[in-house]
């Protein structure tokens, strides 16, 4: 079953085109990587899916979530879907959490907002369960903690718990491990894998780290200057790239000796 | 680091103690003063400190210590009125300016600059001339003149909070601006606002003293530290004690509020959070 279908998506600012004719699909439970250098249009593509393009940018084409067309949908429709059917894990776990709110309430928030739990108490206990499922130590105590009392990896687990709170059909991760060190990175990736498998969630994973793509994604899309220049199974693309740029990306990541 | 931490705690402690003393003096004065602060005792004029009058008497024979205690009330009163007004008006204005569309934000901030252009004391004297001199008039004027500093601080804090992803997420989820202001912005700029309060408090206390000294503040016979200073000016050469005692009280109160503000800032600064 196709969860997300993007057809000929283009994003432009004024006369300048930033993303051109991007088309792809993600099925339920499928994990797709979107790779490319900074400025290649990865994040803009994800923002178009969420309907969160910055002011002044304009998207054309079609983005369908199940049967629902998202491009041009009303803000009300979109806000019902965000955090419910589509969730996002941000890059920087520091600024993605409100420093003056206990993390338990922040996880309860999307459940109360979308009415998936009847009251605050039920949402709170669901939050504690979620903390347990993202393997945060002492879930009860963590729920009462403020973000500054948690480490970077723990904060990213909290963000994942928020994103998973309403069992979304599609999870978008925008470089979720860039700000973390390598060992914590591996734990978070394993967690994202396990969580999406368990819930049969479609995953769109944005990164510039090929090693991460190789360990998480089944399929990969390579973007360059706003266009998808190559796509296919992760193994094929990474082992025998057809496009020159993909080869360069691979060579560059080898040089970093991961 | 331990040393830095100790000095932070020290300024909070010292500031808290000094401010606490002022509050205590004001509270005590409601129930008890050594003498009636308003009673004129012709035979006891200009007495030096004795067992009967701890700080002596003024030129009307009134007890200085009692006046000092009752004067603490005026000091706190002016602080609460002026700072309360400035914080309650300035903070929402700043949040509004930080959250709204560009032209509205610009409009609020330029109006802010307009108020900022008036010196606080001048505004207070103007108000005194128009509405009649009095503590409340003076403090409303000082409060209005202090609004811009709160609006500025609140706006810069708000802009910072508005650029974070948790606010983006709240907006994306369709939360109303009022909800975001209450739930996300206000708690995160509260530290800034509280610190601004303590600094403005010190400024208001000084302003009250200055205005009373000029005759635009607290009306006689209500005792106030500023008025005690004013009344002492003719006797400065003969009895410097009469100027020194309220002067020291004002200096200590202002120092106390400043230290308290410093200490609070360090407590609320999230960047220092990790070192605690």
Distance CA A47, CA A41 (A): 10
What was the pLDDT predicted at B4? Answer: 57
Distance CA B159, CA B94 (A): 10
Which CATH topology does A2-255 take? Rossmann fold (3.40.50)
- Which residue in B165, B174, B184 is closest to A96 by CB distance? B165
- For chain B, what are the domain ranges? 2-275
Q: Is B188 within 8 Å of A148 when comparing Cβ atoms?
A: no
Q: Is B174 within 8 Å of A79 when comparing Cβ atoms?
A: yes
Each residue's pLDDT expressed in tens, for chain B with a length of 276 residues = 455 566 667 888 888 888 888 888 778 777 777 767 666 766 766 666 676 666 767 777 677 778 888 888 888 888 888 999 999 999 999 999 999 878 888 888 999 888 888 888 888 888 888 888 787 888 888 899 999 999 999 999 999 998 888 888 888 777 888 889 988 898 888 888 888 888 888 788 788 878 877 877 777 777 788 777 777 777 777 777 778 888 888 888 888 888 888 887 777 655 554 443
| Positions of chain A with pLDDT under 50 | 255-258
Distance (Å) from the C-alpha of residue A231 to the closest C-alpha of chain B?
A: 30
Mark B121-132 as b/e (b = at least 16 C-beta within 10 Å). bebbbebbeeee
Distance CA B55, CA B253 (A): 18
- Which residue in A90, A97, A100 is closest to B187 by CB distance? A100
Residue A113: its chain B contacts at CB < 8 A?
173, 175
Confidence check on the interface: ipTM exceeds 0.85, yes or no: no
Q: What residues have CB less than 8 Å from B231, skipping those under 6 apart?
A: B58, B59, B242
Kindly report the pTM of this predicted structure.
Answer: 0.73
End-to-end Cα, chain B, rounded Å = 9
Q: State which residue of chain B sits closest to A98, comparing Cα positions.
A: B166
Residue B140: count of CB within 10 angstroms of its CB: 18
- For chain A, what are the domain ranges? 2-255
Interface of A with B (CB under 8 A): 50-52, 75-76, 78-80, 82-83, 88, 90, 92, 95-101, 106, 110, 113, 148
Distance CA A63, CA A86 (A): 13
What was the pLDDT predicted at B156? Answer: 92
What was the pLDDT predicted at A256? Answer: 47
End-to-end Cα, chain A, rounded Å = 36
Helix (H) or strand (E) run with residue A7 in it: strand A2-13
Which CATH topology does B2-275 take? MetI-like fold (1.10.3720)
């Amino acid at each position: 079953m196709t969860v997300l279908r993007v057809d000929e998506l283009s994003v432009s600012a004024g006369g300048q085109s930033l993303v051109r004719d991007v088309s792809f699909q993600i099925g339920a439970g499928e994990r797709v990587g979107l790779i490319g250098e900074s400025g290649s249009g990865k994040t803009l593509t994800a923002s178009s899916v969420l309907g969160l393009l910055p002011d002044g940018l304009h998207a054309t084409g079609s983005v369908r979530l199940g049967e629902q067309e998202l491009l041009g949908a009303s803000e009300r429709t979109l806000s019902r879907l965000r955090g419910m059917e589509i969730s996002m894990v941000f890059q920087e776990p520091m600024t993605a959490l409100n420093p003056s709110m206990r993390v338990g309430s922040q996880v309860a928030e999307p459940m109360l907002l979308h009415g998936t739990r009847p009251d605050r108490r039920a949402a709170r206990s669901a939050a504690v369960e979620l903390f347990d499922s993202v393997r945060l130590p002492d879930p009860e105590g963590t729920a009462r903690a403020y973000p500054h009392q948690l480490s970077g990896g723990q904060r990213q687990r909290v963000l994942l718990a928020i994103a998973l709170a309403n069992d979304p059909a599609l999870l978008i991760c925008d470089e979720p491990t860039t700000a973390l060190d390598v060992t914590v990175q591996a734990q978070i990736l394993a967690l994202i894998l396990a969580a999406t498998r368990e819930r049969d969630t479609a995953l769109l994973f944005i990164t510039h780290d090929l090693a991460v793509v190789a360990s998480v994604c089944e399929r990969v899309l390579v973007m360059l200057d706003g266009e998808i220049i190559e796509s296919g199974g992760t193994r094929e693309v990474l082992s025998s790239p057809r496009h020159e740029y993909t080869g360069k990306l691979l060579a560059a990541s080898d040089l970093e000796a991961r | 680091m331990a040393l830095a931490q100790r000095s932070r705690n020290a300024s909070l402690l010292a500031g808290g103690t000094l401010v606490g003393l002022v509050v205590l003096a004001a509270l005590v004065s409601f129930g008890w003063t050594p003498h009636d602060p308003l009673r004129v005792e012709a035979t006891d004029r200009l007495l030096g400190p004795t067992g009967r009058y701890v700080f002596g008497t003024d030129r009307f024979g009134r007890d200085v210590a009692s006046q000092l205690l009752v004067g603490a009330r005026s000091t706190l009163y002016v602080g609460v009125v002026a700072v309360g007004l400035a914080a309650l008006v300035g903070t929402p204005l700043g949040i509004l300016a930080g959250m709204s569309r560009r032209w509205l934000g610009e409009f609020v901030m330029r109006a802010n600059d307009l108020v900022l252009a008036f010196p606080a004391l001048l505004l207070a004297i103007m108000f005194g001339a128009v509405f009649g001199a009095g503590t409340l008039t003076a403090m409303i004027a000082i409060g209005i003149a202090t609004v811009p500093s709160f609006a500025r601080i609140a706006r810069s804090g708000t802009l910072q909070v508005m650029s974070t992803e948790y606010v983006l997420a709240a907006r994306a989820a369709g939360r109303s601006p009022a909800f975001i202001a209450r739930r996300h912005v206000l708690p995160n700029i509260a530290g800034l606002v509280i610190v601004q309060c303590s600094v403005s408090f010190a400024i208001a206390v000084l302003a009250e003293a200055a205005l009373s000294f000029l005759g635009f503040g607290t009306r006689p016979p209500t005792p106030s530290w500023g008025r005690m200073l004013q009344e002492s000016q003719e006797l400065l050469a003969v009895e410097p004690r009469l100027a020194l005692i309220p002067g020291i009280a004002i200096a200590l109160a202002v120092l106390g509020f400043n230290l308290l503000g410093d200490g609070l800032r360090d407590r609320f600064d999230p960047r220092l959070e990790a070192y605690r």
